Amino acid sequence: MKQGSRRRFVVGVVIALIIIVALGGIGWHLITATQSTLSTTMDTSMSGGVTAADTTVSPSMSSSTAFNLTAALLSGAPTLGSPNASVTIVEFGDYQCPTCDDWFKTQESSLIQNLVNTGRAKLVWRDFDFYGPDSVSASEAAYAAGEEGKFWQFHDLLFQSQQIPNGGWASRQNLVKLAEQMGLNMTQFDVAFNSGKFDSLINSNHNLGVQAGVTQTPTFFLIGSNGKMVTIAGDQPESVFEQAVAQLAG
Amino acid sequence: MDTFRDIRYFLVAIPILVAYGIALLFFDQFLFFSPYFTFYVSHSGDMNLILDLLLTVLTTIVLTVSIRQVLFQRTAGGGATKSGAIGIVAAILAGACPCYYLIPLLAVAGTVGGALGAAGILLDAYQIPIKLAATLILFFTAYKLNKSNTCKVKAPTRNLAQKRQQLAS
């Protein structure tokens, strides 16, 4: 091989490798997102009467089983907004996740104002705790507050209080302080918080997220009344949600 | 900067710039392809965006100059080729920084627990200092490459003076 053609060959190989690595990474993300969407849109029939117990998902369960993922996503979780809203936005998040916090602080209020308060969509929260034990404690505390009808207030307070992940801000002692700060009935809160009764819900939420193909937090599944679904992964602007809701409702 | 006056290297630089830029912006959640093509910078993402753009430009410069060093300066001696090879390695390690690409993968691995998930969380939490370190490495590499590109001519002053004396005598 002549020196000139060899040089061109080496340059070509280097460029090709760089492009392959970059596009491969992007492709991997897109493929996993598409697979998740496909596995859920294949089974979009809306079965009625699904209870909280139905959200328990075996981690080993494959998408080829008769499991109805869409129905599972829609049931047994705290919901904000009108039950008659045509679109349900299911958020998978972790109270210690900085990206979830950023989305909460920059986008959630606009989303609630423009989509939830107008009755166009309702917002559902599901835990996808992978940052550590403090994330699970935070989820338990939010559910314990929910027993006093203050789930969403505590959810907001957790994000407003977020600091470095696993830095102790969501330790059990600090969560009790947050509950006191919110003016909850502490006897009732302590019993619920320490009972361990939310463990199965938190675990089933996590398993459901894995089943749905969550690869990052926050991940949102927007489900229309016709069963069609749009997945929004990451810290995306509220305008994207408006566009997707319009598409699902239309 | 002489490298980019040559159209061939300019054409080499463009795909590197575009590929690295898109990859970094995508993995840092500034660029989204699904469900719609969206470019969005959150309020807390300004610093990250600046570092991403800086890393992209520096990586392109270092990689392109390094390729030129390796391919077209072989005649200049092993030093030039060596500095070019080091530049390519530094650009790939610092500029492309595979750790960013692995964060989502590590996070998924973290769903089943383990050290990989913890590493992903740690890298994610400290990505600005990591990027600053990568920027410094790339600046240093670019400086070294520029220095190795400079022709150094050592005039044999002593021998010349001796020869002059010999000729004069």
Q: Per mean pLDDT, which of A56-70, B81-95, B119-133, B148-162 is the most reliable?
A: B119-133
Average pLDDT over residues B108-123: 63
| Torsion sign over Cα B41, B43, B47, B48 | negative
Hey, are the CB atoms on A18 and B19 less than 8 Å from each other? yes
Residue A151's CB is within 10 A of a number of other CB atoms, namely 19
* A134 at B interface, C-beta within 8 A: no
Question: Nearest C-alpha of chain B: how many angstroms from A235?
Answer: 7
Sketch out chain A's domains with CATH numbers. Answer: 42-249 (3.40.30.10)
Average pLDDT over residues B144-153: 69
For A240, which residue in chain B has the nearest alpha carbon?
Answer: B36
- pLDDT value for B7: 86
pLDDT digits (tens, 9 = 90+) for B85-99: 777 777 777 765 655
- pLDDT value for B123: 73
Hey, are the CB atoms on B23 and A19 less than 8 Å from each other? no
Hey, are the CB atoms on B36 and A98 less than 8 Å from each other? no
Q: E-assigned strands of B14-103?
A: 31-32, 38-39
Select from B119, B121, B2 the least CA-distant residue to B68: B2
> What is the ipTM for the molecules in this complex?
0.72
CA within 13 Å, CB half, A60: 0
Q: How confident is the model at residue B148 (pLDDT cuts 50, 70, 90)?
A: confident
Hey, are the CB atoms on A26 and B23 less than 8 Å from each other? yes
CA distance A239 to A67: 32
* B157 at A interface, C-beta within 8 A: no
Q: How confident is the model at residue B70 (pLDDT cuts 50, 70, 90)?
A: confident
For A232, which residue in chain B has the nearest alpha carbon?
Answer: B35
Question: Nearest C-alpha of chain B: how many angstroms from A37?
Answer: 10
Of A34, A164, A236, the CB nearest to B125: A164
- pLDDT value for A195: 96
Residue ranges of alpha helices (H) inside chain A are 3-41, 69-74, 98-103, 109-111, 133-146, 151-160, 172-182, 186-194, 199-212, 238-249
Domain ranges of chain B: 2-168
Which residues of A, range 26-45, sit inside 8 Å of B by Cβ?
26, 29-30, 33-34
Which residues of A, range 158-197, sit inside 8 Å of B by Cβ?
164-166
- At A122 the three-state DSSP class reads strand
Q: pLDDT tens, position by position, for chain A (250 residues)?
A: 556 666 666 666 666 666 666 666 665 655 455 444 433 333 333 333 233 333 333 333 333 444 688 888 888 899 999 999 999 999 999 999 988 999 999 999 999 999 999 999 999 999 999 888 999 999 999 999 999 999 999 999 999 999 988 899 999 999 999 999 999 999 999 999 999 999 999 999 999 998 899 988 899 999 999 889 999 999 999 999 999 999 998 7
Hey, are the CB atoms on A234 and B29 less than 8 Å from each other? yes
